[in-house]
Chains A and B, each alone.
Chain A
Amino acid sequence: MATTSVTVTATAQDLRGVARSQWLMAFERFRAHRPAVLGVLVLSLLAIACAAASLISPYDPDKTQLLSLYEAPSLRHPFGTDDLGRDLATRILYGGRVSLTIGLLAVTVAITVGTLVGVLAGYYGGFLDSLLMRFVDAMYSFPRLFLLILFGVFFKGMTVGVIILVLGLLSWLTTSRLVRATFLSLKQREFVEAARGVGARDRRIIFRHILPNSLAPIIVAGTLGVGAAIIAESTLSFLGLGIQPPTSSWGNMLNHATTDMDKAPWIAFFPGFFIFLAVMSINFIGDGLRDALDPRHVVRKT
């Protein structure tokens, strides 16, 4: 009896060792993906610069400066100034805080809701499953931008908290389908039956035994989702229904750009360029993560 229990412990430790080295292997694969590493680098620099905005820039992001309206990029104002004379580079750094935070938190909301719905539908199945999945189908049938605009009109523009919730609550559909699919395919497998056989409760089976198996696709979808959320926020703010001035976000800085395009094209260029830079980095990271976490996905080299 004693011998058996020792053996079991040893095996469990071995298994944990294997599991850890799998993540290590994934990390090595990620490190070999050059664009992804570049993405991490650019995004980190960007995030640090935004966080340290008040240390880097001598200017106030929101205060009107009547003496420096529409100044072209120069040494004093590397990205120029806008229609109210505010330093564009400063506003981009402060706006980056808003845009990056929204992207990150909206995805956190989306993944939490999506995982919850996916677990409920996939693990418990039956009527609950059909009900939730028909709801997902119905949600998928509305163009997302239309819904975002209706929410924007409803709230008469959005605060950071509201836009995070709205984006999050409109973006969990894919995650829920991913998680549900994992649960459907795994809940009848032997290792789950074994766990149930030794008396594990539902909660333990769900979180310890099945959910870790859908972690990889969730991480990839989540990463790419951050980029999508940043684009969605900026589009909405560009249209005037997202973050309201004087708070700057990368999107609402472009809001007036259309009227000033002729005399001050830099106002349209720089904020958009930073959206592009952030989203591109995130997409690179997402691609790298996909290759790293799902080796089957890597296209064979011939």
Chain B
Amino acid sequence: MGRYVVRRLLQAVPLLLAISVAAFAIIKAQPGGPLAAYEGNPDFTEADRVRLEHAFGLDQPLPLQYLNWLGSFLRLDWGYSFASHQPVLMLIGERLPNTLYLMGTVFVVVLLVAIPVGVLTAVKQYSWFDHIVTGTIFTFLSTPTFWLGLLLIIVFGLQLRWLPLGGMQTLGASFDVGDRLRHLILPVATIALVQMGSHVRFLRASMLETIGQDYMRTARAKGLAERIVIMRHALKNAAIPLVTIIALDMPELFVGALVTEQIFGWPGMGRLFWDAATRSDYPVLQGILAVSSSLIVLANLFADVMYGWLDPRIRFS
């Protein structure tokens, strides 16, 4: 087990390196470049351009630029944003808590709803409850996130005026828990409603498979209460594949939900990426891409390890 984890970690190193090369190449291919903002400025001479390119190291050969970047990246020196001139690490550090706050809430809400609903739809398969839930899930799985967000804003923000249209808190107001929560409801609902479906479907299918197993009959034959049979014997086994799905969701906690953040003006990682992408802010883009892809690689590893650990029938080889 320990050896398996170590081996997988070692295998992840070349993958991460490949990813970093790809991230570097993708971003280097972007047009305009960091000095595009100065183009058309009459005071910006050729000499200024050369001086700035030299100062940023943009005049070095590409492989060298990559190695420089990788070296400083590993030393946690992620450079400065071309747009705001703040350290990239600081910018990410500012936005990360906002995204964690939003996505963490989504995460908890999704699990709190999906687990009981998934179990119930399986236990009461083909009941009216199952049909309604399955139908609702299918509806939300086919809904584009941005459209759902717009509709929620129109209905609950503009028409009913129950909830704020966007932002994390009322501007200028002092910190207030109720105000914070009210700003959280619509963005969380937007992401959770779309995300919940796949979890419920997954757990339902997994529960149905478990319920058909022989050990369930044994548990019942022992005279155990139905509640214990379902919760302890069925759910515990059915939840194993769900754990891996949840592990694979983890990167989203940090990467955020770009579209939702955009619609609701939520100052998180997704919007940071959007702003950086539209302004050719290379250092910030590289930082975010590196963080997000490393997290995805680690989450995959974590999911595999968890799967084997929870289900002893799986053997590592």
Question: Which A residues contact B (CB, under 8 angstroms)?
Answer: 35, 134-135, 137-138, 140-143, 145-147, 149-150, 153-154, 156, 227, 231, 234-235, 238-239, 254, 257-258, 261-262, 265, 268-269, 272-273, 275-276, 279-280, 283-284, 299-302
Q: Are B259 and A234 in contact (CB under 8 A)?
A: no
Those of B13-35 within 8 Å (CB) of chain A: 14-15, 18-19, 22-23, 26-27, 29-31
The majority secondary structure among interface residues of chain B is helix
Given A227-B142, A231-B144, A276-B147, A153 and B277 touching (CB < 8 A)? yes
9 A-B pairs in the complex with CB atoms less than 8 angstroms apart: A138-B15, A140-B296, A142-B22, A261-B150, A261-B153, A265-B154, A272-B147, A276-B142, A283-B142
Extra A-B contacts (13), CB below 8 Å, given A138-B19, A146-B292:
A134-B15, A143-B292, A143-B296, A146-B258, A154-B29, A156-B31, A235-B146, A265-B158, A268-B147, A276-B142, A279-B142, A284-B138, A301-B126
Residues of A with C-beta under 8 A to B142: 227, 276, 279-280, 283
Q: In this assembly, does B255 line the interface, its C-beta being within 8 Å of a C-beta of chain A?
A: yes
A9 → chain B closest CB, angstroms: 44
A88–B280 Cα gap in the complex (Å)? 35
Q: In this assembly, does B125 line the interface, its C-beta being within 8 Å of a C-beta of chain A?
A: yes
A143–B248 Cα gap in the complex (Å)? 12
Residue of A143, A238, A273 with most partner-chain B CB within 10 A: A143
Question: Which B residues contact A (CB, under 8 angstroms)?
Answer: 14-15, 18-19, 22-23, 26-27, 29-31, 125-126, 138-139, 141-147, 150-151, 153-154, 158-159, 205, 208, 212, 251, 255, 258-259, 262-263, 273-274, 277-278, 280, 285, 288-289, 292-293, 296-297
Report which of B22, B30, B262, B292 forms a contact with A239, defined as CB distance below 8 A: B262
Residues of B with C-beta under 8 A to A258: 150, 263
A277 → chain B closest CB, angstroms: 8
Q: Are A261 and B154 in contact (CB under 8 A)?
A: yes
B261 → chain A closest CB, angstroms: 11
Residues of B with C-beta under 8 A to A147: 26
Residues of B with C-beta under 8 A to A137: 15
Q: Are B30 and A234 in contact (CB under 8 A)?
A: no
Given A142-B22, A300-B212, A134 and B14 touching (CB < 8 A)? yes
B11 → chain A closest CB, angstroms: 9
Given A141-B19, A261-B158, A283-B141, A150 and B27 touching (CB < 8 A)? yes
A260 → chain B closest CB, angstroms: 11
A279–B29 Cα gap in the complex (Å)? 33
A263 → chain B closest CB, angstroms: 10
- Closest residue of B by beta carbon distance from A230: B144
Given A238-B146, A265-B154, A279-B142, A142 and B258 touching (CB < 8 A)? no
A135–B292 Cα gap in the complex (Å)? 17
- Closest residue of A by beta carbon distance from B141: A283
Residues of A with C-beta under 8 A to B29: 154
Q: Are A269 and B296 in contact (CB under 8 A)?
A: no
A149–B297 Cα gap in the complex (Å)? 21
Residues of A with C-beta under 8 A to B126: 301
Given A138-B18, A261-B158, A283-B142, A145 and B150 touching (CB < 8 A)? no
Residues of B with C-beta under 8 A to A154: 29-31
